[in-house]
Amino acid sequence: MEARAGATRSWNPPTLGEQVVLLSPSGELRGAVVLCAVNSNAHPALSDDPNLTRLRLPDGAAAAKRSHRHERHESHHRRAAIRRRAYSSERR
């Protein structure tokens, strides 16, 4: 399972020691899906700040992005679409 699997795709396999969850609605583990990215004592979250997105790679490279306010991703896109429609209506 990946973060993205459409036009934008990602590949980030689990690492040794990473805690995962096996999702198997039928109970048959051969058909289970592995859900990665479960924080643990050995691999705690990089932050508890809801306004901060952080990434740390195995080679030590890191990135961080601070939001102005915490909001759900889909609501941001919905507002942006509404603003575009309102702007195009005003220009007619």
Which pLDDT score, from 0 to 100, does residue 73 have? 52
- pLDDT value at 75 more than 70: no
Which pLDDT score, from 0 to 100, does residue 86 have? 46
CB 31 within 8 A of CB 6: no
Quick one: tokens of 37?
A: 């990215």
- pLDDT value at 87 more than 80: no
Higher per-residue pLDDT: 21 or 76: 21
Binned at pLDDT 50, 70 and 90, residue 85 comes out as: very low
Q: What span, in angstroms and rounded, lies between the C-alpha atoms of 50 and 66? A: 9
CA–centroid distance for 23 within its chain: 18
Q: What span, in angstroms and rounded, lies between the C-alpha atoms of 21 and 3? A: 15
Average pLDDT, the chain: 79
State pTM to two decimals: 0.54
- pLDDT value at 91 more than 50: no
Pairing of strands 52-56, 33-38: unpaired
| Average pLDDT of span 47-62 | 91
